[in-house]
Amino acid sequence: MTQHDMAPTKWQSFLDDARSQVSQDSTLEVRGTLTRLTGLVLEASGIRVPVGSQCVVTMKARPSVLAEVVGFSGDKAFLMPAGDVHGLSSGAGVAPAAAYVPVPRLGAAALPPDLAAAGMLRLPLGDGLLGRVVDSQGNPMDRMGPLAEVVSKPLDRKPINAMDRAPVRESLDTGVRAINALLTVGRGQRLGLFAGSGVGKSVLLGMMARYTQADVIVVGLIGERGREVKEFIEDILGADGRARSVVVAAPADAPPLLRMQGASYATAIAEYFRDKGQHVLLLMDSLTRYAMAQREIALAIGEPPATKGYPPSCFAKLPQLVERSGNGLHGVGSITAFYTVLSEGDDQQDPIADAARAILDGHIVLSRSLAEAGHYPAIDVEQSASRVMHNVVSREHFELARRFRSLYSRYEKGRDLVQIGAYARGSDPMLDEAIALQPGMHQFLQQDMFEAASLEAAWQDMAASTSLTQVGA
């Protein structure tokens, strides 16, 4: 073979080796430039990364800022910052963020950075989260050191096929008498707590966190007051509850991106434990703040508002989040979820409340008038419903709950006539019965926050409160 014939062979071999190295371990870094900052949105050019990718905005003499790609237009990428943008200027560098790598255990070799995962949102999941308080990015907030026994996993998950989910057939004891008796919850059910501000949503969540039968409790405090984080942990969960709980906190002063990410992260943690075959209680306060965060992001990048200022993407994001909870594959593990929903001005037709009611498996409405009268928990029995109750309780229990509701509703409708003395006894036998039973029924619906009521005890108390024999005795 001549030297002239060997040249193409060597050149081809060189190209093959170069292609192999590039495909297996590329260290080329794609960088862009910050060109515009308007309101909450950063605009970058020269970088092409998919929507949902994490990027780092760097500039000399100031800390870097993490941002997520939320949209694009032509060769411009729109990013939503997860931190303070004060001090940034045009020309700052924008590059994909490195993947999260957990701190190695003592004696274990450190894992090299995963270049293929650069830009993908990956956060810590694992048993090491139990008993910990973390923020939306998986950073510990409890000053108990770095997380151990966790793995780095992406938050995006493939939805479970509806035909692979086990139906809700098993009742769940929440420890709240009115819910156990009249709004019985099934394991794997998703319910909403609907109310305005200051009527006892957080207290009711705390009662369920303390008394519900669950292996793991995941609490997502999304967009609520920062004061509530420590109070919820110390005053409501306590030492025993905290040992089996994970708290994800994204308070009201967090950027909208972190508030949305906090809700997704709390759900991902619940999914992790469910996939291990455990029964999880997911408490999220609140679903409305999640929707408001999405509204801020969508309006900032130019999406038109639709209903009361909420763009269409808000109503698309809600079911994507809620549908991740529920029973696991083929009945292995479950996530029973309670989402608080703020009703602006106590309006039950608020667009977010109306949308949430349609996608959840039940709704518990808290009444301001009951709360103002000192009636706690302030559950409005007439407006509340559990859509799976008939599948998880006996026929006797279901019929007794119907009787209780009927008597309670009949008294409420005739209350004004009774109070002004315009009702003549004997005119309506059912109302006569409701008047006689009313004191016991109202006492049955009230419960101290440090008192637990089991399913069996709640059923027996409901039977006693609707029995004239018991009243006469």
| Burial of 473 from C-beta contacts in 10 A (0-12 / 13-18 / 19+) | exposed
- Residue 422 confidence (pLDDT): 84
Q: What pLDDT score does 473 carry? A: 44
Q: Would strands 171-172 and 245-250 be described as parallel, antiparallel, or unpaired?
A: unpaired
Q: Enter the tokens of residue 392.
A: 């998880």
Amino acid 460: pLDDT: 94
d(CA 202, CA 233): 12
Residues (pLDDT < 70) of the chain are 1-8, 20-29, 99-119, 345-348, 468-473
Both tokens assigned to 22:
């590039």
Residues 6+ away with beta carbon under 8 Å from 12: none
Q: Decide: helix, strand or coil at residue 13.
A: helix
Task: Give this prediction's pTM.
Answer: 0.86
- Residue 371 to residue 353: CA distance in whole angstroms: 20
The dihedral through the CA atoms of 391, 394, 395, 401 has a sign that is negative
Query: ω into residue 286 within 30 of 0, thus cis?
Result: yes
DSSP state of 335: E
Query: Any bridge partners for residue 191, and if so which?
Result: 338
Which residues, at least 6 apart from 169, have a Cβ–Cβ distance to it below 8 Å? 186, 391, 392
Pull the structure tokens for residue 391.
């599948």
Question: Tens digits of per-residue pLDDT, 342-381?
Answer: 887 666 678 899 999 999 999 999 999 999 998 999 999 9
Taking the C-alpha atoms of residue 215 and residue 212, their distance in angstroms, rounded to an integer, is 9
What is the pLDDT at residue 427? 86
Q: Give the phi and the psi of residue 364 in degrees, each rounded to 5.
A: -115, 115
266, 270, 273, 278: CA torsion to nearest 10 = 150
Q: Looking at the chain, how many residues does it have?
A: 473
